Amino acid sequence: MKHISVLLDETLNGLSIQPTGTYVDATLGGGGHAAGILSRLTSGKLLGFDQDLFALEQTKVRLGEYHNKVELIHANFSQLQVELATRHIQQVDGIVMDIGVSSFQLDDPARGFSYHHDAPLDMRMDPTQALTAAEIVNTYEADQLKTLFTTGEVPFTNRLVEEILRVRAVQPISTTFELVDVVQSVAPRVEKQKRHPARLVFQALRLETNQELLVLSQAIEQALTLLRIGGRLAIITFHSLEDRIVKQAFVKASSLDIPQGVPIATKGMQADFKLITKKPIVPSANELSTNPRAKSAKLRIIERVQ
């Protein structure tokens, strides 16, 4: 198993790394982006987060040669500010977030992320967390299930929720393949022709299990506050809902907040942040040919200017 880092050069160049700076990798995963940052640091340092202890253990080995420049932190990136404050760090020169699951997680049958492997319906990125995908499927009210699948853009949400309720009344849905069977039984043929019908269902459940949209919004807010002038935040997303959150947060931060009563922006007024990427950077054809999983990746970068 190997995780191939997505948009690696684009991200490292986009961060405009200062060799003496302090950096955060909020999603260490296989440590590819972290290793790239560390290789460009002299006296600088990197704080690396992951909520998955297994990922941290593996990355610790990979980043061994940089052990005096790196600190690994087992925490959700929604705790960014608190974790940095604990270490007396108020400002940093750059932050990278590569949102979602790593190939280690996706390809490990036991984690329950994949509809290709039969496994307990788990999907927790942090295995110490209580809520699992199985609990969501078997205990959420119909309205809650409808909201989460509609948000995840599952086109046959109503039929899916009805079938989940019917099946779970007989016996809990506790494995990935049991859920795939439910999905297959209700997915329209046209959906099956477009893609695996469980793809969006599993993605929606994963987002809910790990509260991914909520923690992303929280983390962006904190990351923007932590950047020093000239510091950059680079975020890679793989889902349109996540990209929308990043895009809207970046547009807001880079727009002038004109106080009420001031008719127009006066000369010299500028926003605290500047968009480095007006349009998201996407993988090249060359990258896609070696790593098809990069397909939906989008990279957006913003810089604090004052």
Give the C-alpha distances (Å, rounded to integers) separating 17 from 41, 86, 133, 272, 273. Answer: 8, 24, 39, 20, 18
| Residue among 200, 189, 185, 199 nearest 154 (CA) | 200
- Residue whose CB is less far from ligand SAM, 214 or 258: 214
Write out the E strands in the chain: 22-25, 45-50, 70-74, 92-98, 227-237, 273-275, 298-304
Site membership for ligand SAM, residue 239 (CB under 6 A): no
Site membership for ligand SAM, residue 243 (CB under 6 A): no
Least distance (Å) between residue 224 CB and ligand SAM: 16
Candidate segments 14-22, 28-36, 131-139, 187-195, binder of ligand SAM by CB under 6 A: 28-36
Least distance (Å) between residue 256 CB and ligand SAM: 31
Q: Is the distance from CB of 85 to CB of 228 less than 8 angstroms?
A: no
Residues 63-92 that bind ligand SAM (CB under 6 A): 76-77
Which residue shows structure tokens 């969501």? 136
Q: Return the C-alpha torsion angle 111, 245, 222, 94, nearest 10.
A: 90
| Residue among 234, 229, 236 nearest 273 (CA) | 229
Would you call 296 helix, strand, or coil by DSSP?
Answer: coil
Least distance (Å) between residue 27 CB and ligand SAM: 3
How many residues interact with ligand SAM (rule CB under 6 A)? 21
d(CA 298, CA 10): 11
Binding mask 39-58 for ligand SAM (x = CB under 6 A): ----------xxxx--x---
Q: Which two tokens stand for residue 267?
A: 């000369």
Least distance (Å) between residue 51 CB and ligand SAM: 4
In the bound complex, which residue of the shown chain has the CB atom lying closest to ligand SAM? 29
Site membership for ligand SAM, residue 100 (CB under 6 A): yes
Site membership for ligand SAM, residue 32 (CB under 6 A): yes
Rg (CA), the chain: 21
Which backbone phi and psi does 231 adopt, to 5 degrees? Answer: -75, 150
Binding mask 193-232 for ligand SAM (x = CB under 6 A): ----------------------x-----------------
Site membership for ligand SAM, residue 114 (CB under 6 A): no
Q: Which residues in this chain contact ligand SAM in the complex, by CB under 6 A?
A: 3, 5, 27, 29-33, 49-52, 55, 76-77, 98, 100-102, 125, 215
